[in-house]
Amino acid sequence: MRHRPQWRRVACGAAMLFAAAALATALAWNSIFEAVYNSQLALSPSSRSYREWVAPDVPLYLEIYLFNWTNPDDFPHQKPILAEVGPYRFREYRRHVNVSVYPNNGTIAYRTQRTWQFDEDTSEASLQDNITILNVIAASAAFRSRDWGFLKQKGLSLALAMFGHGMSVSKLAGELLFDGYEDPLIDLANSLPPSALGGAPKVDRFGLFYGRNNSIDTDGYMEVTSGSSSEIPGQIVRWDGHSSLPFYAGECAKMTGSAGEFMPHNLTESEPLTIFMSDLCRTVYMDYQESGTLEGIPYHKYVMNEATFDNSSSTDRNSCFCNGECLWSGVMNVSACRYGSPSFLSLPHFLHGDPDLLDKVEGLAPDPDLHTFYFAVEPRLGIPLDVSARFQYNVYLEPMPNIALYANVPKMLFPIFWVQQKVQVESKVLGELRIVRGVMDWGGTVCACAALAFAAILTVTSCCSSHCKKKDEIEKEKDEAELKLNPNNRS
């Protein structure tokens, strides 16, 4: 009989196969897990991670603190006294738009569009507040005239006086932030050729965040890895068409690291976390500070510390960011990527900054708990659990003998505002992450156990094979009988 059931041999074979497969899976568990996990993470239009990436539904908030200058009339005889007002809290809606996927080179290109809604209920300040800040328009115009001739500088000095520009401006908070305010100097600047403005786009108003709401240009055009081949997704490849930064030379021009959303796997304590930040127009190296757990999930905390924006005093790494003269430690000259305006970024309240910065103003009190910039990341899978992104925007002032308004100012950085964006993953996501980590940690063991179990079955089946012979004969007869009764069954 050709079709005699050979269940025992089949079972033996299957058990052997399963045992071998389970053993192989157990041995290769880490790579298998990595491959499956990466396929879920890759930014291809069908992946789950892609849908969440295009329009994240994690609630995001932008919190802005303005420095209200309370003694502008006494400047420069007295140090500016600054009073922090805020937070002005804005709910942020972030979307990735103009997304193009390029499977040929494993990249994905996109722009980021952000919309902000003022959140009246949780803000501790009103957009109707009367706030006094440094006159940023006049300070920028003066800075731009640094290498002009005497006559042109005198002309600017007169123009400032004529348009009634003083050292400070008092405006409503809403105008200073998103709405902007009109100024005759802007109209004047708009009539100049673009080269005189460092290529800055023409605007009709001035505001610290003017033009950013709904804009798709603020963060620039990002090209990142899609993670389709074995590499990590979301690593910067090009920014606004540049594959290295045009603002800096040497090492500082290097554009590497995460675009902020996907981190490398297997983070270590000795390696910095490398993130490209379009706000800073550079790659930032954040150092490991400590480890901890968040609801049972371990994390490594990476921070911006003294070394991050250090000038060459203690590390060489940053001197190429100075663009000439290295001024204070703990600040970053972003002039080159802000159309030549005298803009400097620092941590809030000049945390980790040169003591001279704090010495020139009153009312700042750096506090690591409130002002640190950190990323707490689950190290094995590189998932950010808790992030606080914080920056302070400052305007550079220096004495300009030919411009009356600035003839006697000290050389200093004038703090204008600081922002913070805090994101913590939700409990639901933490729960999922616990499962993923469980699968990762225990999957190999489970497979090894399965291999053992199948091996046991294998042994049992081959042992009993001799004892069960009789049963087999009976079954064979039964089969033949059945066949006679039901001949159609065969085909």
Ligand X SMILES: *[C@@H]1O[C@H](CO)[C@@H](O)[C@H](O)[C@H]1NC(C)=O
Rounded Cα distance, 201 and 376, in Å: 37
Please tell me what DSSP assigns to residue 63: E
CB of 307 to ligand X, least distance (A): 20
Minimum CB distance to ligand X smaller for 432 or for 441: 441
Could you say whether residue 61 binds ligand X (CB under 6 A)?
Answer: no
Whether the bond into 246 is cis, omega within 30 of 0: no
Instruction: Tell which one of 17, 20, 36, 97 touches ligand X (CB under 6 A).
Output: 97
Residue closest to 222 by CA, chosen among 211, 233, 208, 209: 233
Instruction: Tell which one of 324, 369, 473, 477 touches ligand X (CB under 6 A).
Output: 324
CB of 372 to ligand X, least distance (A): 25
Minimum CB distance to ligand X smaller for 155 or for 363: 363
353-392 footprint of ligand X as x/- string (CB under 6 A)? ----------------------------------------
Part of the chain binding ligand X (CB under 6 A), chosen from 151-159, 183-191, 317-325, 482-490: 317-325
Whether the bond into 194 is cis, omega within 30 of 0: no
CB of 351 to ligand X, least distance (A): 20
Could you say whether residue 323 binds ligand X (CB under 6 A)?
Answer: yes
Part of the chain binding ligand X (CB under 6 A), chosen from 12-20, 100-108, 194-202, 458-466: 100-108
Part of the chain binding ligand X (CB under 6 A), chosen from 4-12, 101-109, 155-163, 367-375: 101-109
Part of the chain binding ligand X (CB under 6 A), chosen from 20-28, 295-303, 330-338, 348-356: 330-338
Contact 287, 271 (CB under 8 A): no
Instruction: Tell which one of 44, 123, 213, 218 touches ligand X (CB under 6 A).
Output: 213
Q: Could you identify the residue written with the tokens 């379009």?
A: 278
Instruction: Tell which one of 53, 116, 302, 406 touches ligand X (CB under 6 A).
Output: 116
CB of 212 to ligand X, least distance (A): 9
Rounded Cα distance, 261 and 243, in Å: 19
Could you say whether residue 30 binds ligand X (CB under 6 A)?
Answer: yes
Could you say whether residue 315 binds ligand X (CB under 6 A)?
Answer: no
Could you say whether residue 237 binds ligand X (CB under 6 A)?
Answer: yes
Could you say whether residue 70 binds ligand X (CB under 6 A)?
Answer: yes
Minimum CB distance to ligand X smaller for 104 or for 486: 104
Instruction: Tell which one of 8, 91, 238, 437 touches ligand X (CB under 6 A).
Output: 238
Residue closest to 83 by CA, chosen among 98, 71, 67: 67
Contact 374, 289 (CB under 8 A): yes
103: left (phi over 0), alpha (psi -120 to 50) or beta: alpha
For residue 436, report the phi and psi dihedrals to the nearest 5 degrees. -60, -45
Could you say whether residue 170 binds ligand X (CB under 6 A)?
Answer: yes
Count Cβ neighbours within 10 Å for each residue of 439-456 and write b for 16 or more, e otherwise: ebeebbeebbebbeebbe
407: left (phi over 0), alpha (psi -120 to 50) or beta: alpha
Contact 283, 75 (CB under 8 A): no
Contact 106, 226 (CB under 8 A): yes
CB of 333 to ligand X, least distance (A): 4
Closest residue to ligand X, Cβ-based? 30
Residues pairing with 294 in the sheet: 297
Could you say whether residue 223 binds ligand X (CB under 6 A)?
Answer: yes
Minimum CB distance to ligand X smaller for 11 or for 216: 216
Instruction: Tell which one of 105, 256, 408, 459 touches ligand X (CB under 6 A).
Output: 105
CB of 340 to ligand X, least distance (A): 7
Minimum CB distance to ligand X smaller for 76 or for 475: 76
Q: Could you identify the residue written with the tokens 């089946």?
A: 461
Beta strands in 353-459 (DSSP E): 374-378, 383-397, 412-424
CB of 216 to ligand X, least distance (A): 6
In Å, how far from its chain's centre is CA 480? 72
The two beta strands, 60-69 and 282-294, are unpaired
CB of 323 to ligand X, least distance (A): 4
Q: Could you identify the residue written with the tokens 């930064």?
A: 245
Residue closest to 436 by CA, chosen among 296, 226, 301, 302: 296
Q: Which residues bind ligand X (CB under 6 A)?
A: 30-31, 34, 68, 70, 85, 90, 97-98, 102, 104-105, 107, 115-118, 129-132, 170, 178, 213-214, 216, 223, 237-238, 265-266, 323-325, 327, 333, 335-336, 396
